Amino acid sequence: MSLLTVGSVAFDAIETPFGKTDKIIGGAGTFIALSSSFYCANQQIVSVVGGDFPSEMIGLLESKGVDTKGLQIKKDEKTFFWSGKYHNDMNTRDTLVTELNVLGTFDPVIPAEYQNTKYLMLGNLSPQVQKLVIERLEKRPKLIAMDTMNFWMDIAMDDLKQTLALVDVLIINDEEARQLSQEYSLVKASRVIRAMGPKYLIIKKGEHGALLFYNEKVFFAPALPLEEVFDPTGAGDTFAGGFIGYLAATDDISFENMKRAIIAGSALASYCVEKFGTERLTEISKADVEARIEQFVALTDFSAVEKII
């Protein structure tokens, strides 16, 4: 089934306790599209880059089955640039630079061929742009998922609330869930946030896994314990890409299938953090992802517990 991703395609410069990069390819849209391509063969991207963005990277996306007709290239302008520095715990980071460049005036144009998309993934972008995309689709997709961040809660809460009212799934981290809901308990936060619009809420807890809330149901998936986390940039987007890519490929939005999609996303995210930027995602195969999923199954094997009940 078709999947449309809207999100930043960017240059990033990253500093972690293990090293530092110059400008490398990043952006929420890039991570989502690369990740979802492991499951979904038929997908499209709407985004914008400057004339400085390497055509080889656009070629790489196309080689993964991503239609890039909706990726605008503003020849005389510069690509969005973000720079961040991780603290020693690797769970927290400071944004050092955000240069919006082409993203500052981004007008998301939806090519006619994308109009019938069944799955829409709104990556982290201004909530006004996210809303505009929904409004510009003539037919509402079967499922709309979105990501956002504290940055937008700080400067555009009203717009964010309007966009939230239009989506089905919200994917955010625990800190963002607390800020959005003004509740510390994630269970209470999940009720407050779902009352804002999204029926499904996924709260990511970094190395502590992810929670899925729907009606009175809750599902928890751990993160794979990794020996080394090299660079967490894009892990959240990679998770979201695997999640929506799996749902689109199976065209099943039941709660049970969402559990599988969460494991698919978690497996991909566990690879993303092993190298800088998108590098690891471009090296691994579908068989590698499946091997990680088997590790998840073994990690959460509760069958022995039945004997104590």
Provide the binding-site residues for ligand AMP, judged by CB under 6 A.
8, 10, 12, 26-28, 82, 98, 124-125, 151, 233-237
- Shortest distance (Å) from residue 219 CB to ligand AMP: 21
| DSSP assignment string, 102-140 | GGGG------GGGTT-SEEEE-SS-HHHHHHHHHH-SS-
- Shortest distance (Å) from residue 80 CB to ligand AMP: 7
Helix/strand/coil for 81: strand
Residue 101: which of 33, 15, 21, 23 has the closest Cα?
A: 23
Residue number, 44 or 130, with CB nearest to ligand AMP? 130
What's the full length of the chain, in residues? Answer: 309
- Shortest distance (Å) from residue 215 CB to ligand AMP: 27
Residue number, 10 or 146, with CB nearest to ligand AMP? 10
Terminal Cα distance for the chain, rounded: 42
Residue number, 2 or 266, with CB nearest to ligand AMP? 266
- Shortest distance (Å) from residue 10 CB to ligand AMP: 4
- Shortest distance (Å) from residue 237 CB to ligand AMP: 4
Residue number, 99 or 252, with CB nearest to ligand AMP? 99
* Residue with the CB atom nearest ligand AMP in the bound state: 26
Residue type, 299: L
- Shortest distance (Å) from residue 38 CB to ligand AMP: 17
Residue number, 1 or 49, with CB nearest to ligand AMP? 49
Residue number, 98 or 250, with CB nearest to ligand AMP? 98
| DSSP assignment string, 187-233 | HHHHHHHHTTS-SEEEEE-GGG-EEEEETTEEEEEPPPP-S-----T
Residue number, 129 or 248, with CB nearest to ligand AMP? 129
- Shortest distance (Å) from residue 309 CB to ligand AMP: 39
Specify whether the CB–CB gap between 72 and 88 falls below 8 A: no
Beta partners for residue 116, in sequence order: none
Q: Which helix (H) or strand (E) holds 97?
A: strand 93-99
Specify whether the CB–CB gap between 242 and 266 falls below 8 A: yes
